[in-house]
Amino acid sequence: MSETARVRARALGLAPGIFPPGAHNAITDVAGVRVGQVTLIEGDATRTGVTAIIPHPGNPFQDRVPAGLAVINGFGKLAGATQVAELGEIETPIVLTNTLAVGRAVEALVDWTLARPGNEQVTSVNAFVGETNDGRLNDIRARGVTREHVLAALEGAADGPVAEGCVGAGTGTMAFGWKGGIGTSSRLLPEALGGWRIGALVQANYGGVLTMDGIPVGHELGRWYLKEHTDRGDADGSVMVIIATDAPLSDRNLTRLATRAMAGLARTGAAFSDGSGDYALAFSTHPGVRRTAERRAHQAIIADWPNDRMSPLFQAAAEAVEEAVLNALTMATTVIGRDGRTGRRAKGEAIDLDALRAVLVRHGRGA
């Protein structure tokens, strides 16, 4: 199996959906959104990291963005979730990391928020931190992620292309029995449908029967959940999905948008198993819906895209999430680590792109 020339899904002929991607085919195609990542590969056991998403260049606490949360299977440790569900907004950047690093990430986000100019009187912060368990390849009990790593991801956040595969919070993750990771994608709506942008970023660490743009890749490559009725290992895990849009959506319609992200996961063959945490958060960056300090203090008219024009956004979200997962898989490389439960050497094998190309050719795709 070749570990060279890892490529994104589109380079293999996989282009889910009907809408075109943005310039970077990434969540950062939504103007103002920035992503920062810290990858921790230390010794023979630490394989983990941090991925941070900042919604806009201003002060996220003072200029809060509306948000909606969808949960299919709630086996997770999602910090800040109940306040998002209650108030329909986020007031910090979004941080993704491993399960046992959530506490440290919350502390770092609180420190980062309190240090922003204008937050000198703040006494309560709802830090939003998502996670997946990367203990198959990472010595998760060693708790390698520190406050400083989270702060470095936040301070290093930038627009433009986003690194994918075995980076940041995806360094030690697995998906469908292969090496998973961070993936991202975007979609552009035509002007007749609003001209809005949708971007998705996933932390892929879940399983099922892998399907890539409608092609039963997992079945054809002989690796899938419940094969011979004994293999549970390829289904349990978790997935975090973050969706950004510049459409002026209410928190209610953002919740609807986040729910449609699950359609994108389903198209990849997700099992949504008992031990999986399946979460999606959607937020809007549109200036007309930001909940500024002035708007929170006084009654204000807020822009709101109508319900009967939401369907194209739903379609775009599902497409972007599906392709983000495919990118996480095709960009990932094989990782050798140490199982956090047994202490034994562990291997996360990247999907063989040559074998994948052969499958695609049999289905009339690729070169």
User: Catalytic residue numbers?
Assistant: 238, 276, 278
Contacts 24+ apart (CB under 8 A), 216-221: 217/351, 217/356, 217/359, 218/176, 218/177, 218/269, 220/359, 220/362, 221/351, 221/352, 221/355, 221/356, 221/359
Alpha-carbon distance of 353 to 283, in angstroms, equals 34
Contact 196, 71 (CB under 8 A): no
193 phi, psi to nearest 5 deg: -105, 15
Closest CA to 206 of 164, 161, 236: 236
93 phi, psi to nearest 5 deg: -60, 170
Contacts of residue 103, defined as CB under 8 A and 6 or more positions apart, other chains included, come to none
Report how far apart, in Å, the C-alpha atoms of 107 and of each of 97, 103, 128 are: 13, 6, 11
Closest CA to 136 of 42, 182, 40, 205: 205
Contact 1, 352 (CB under 8 A): yes
Alpha-carbon distance of 107 to 159, in angstroms, equals 25
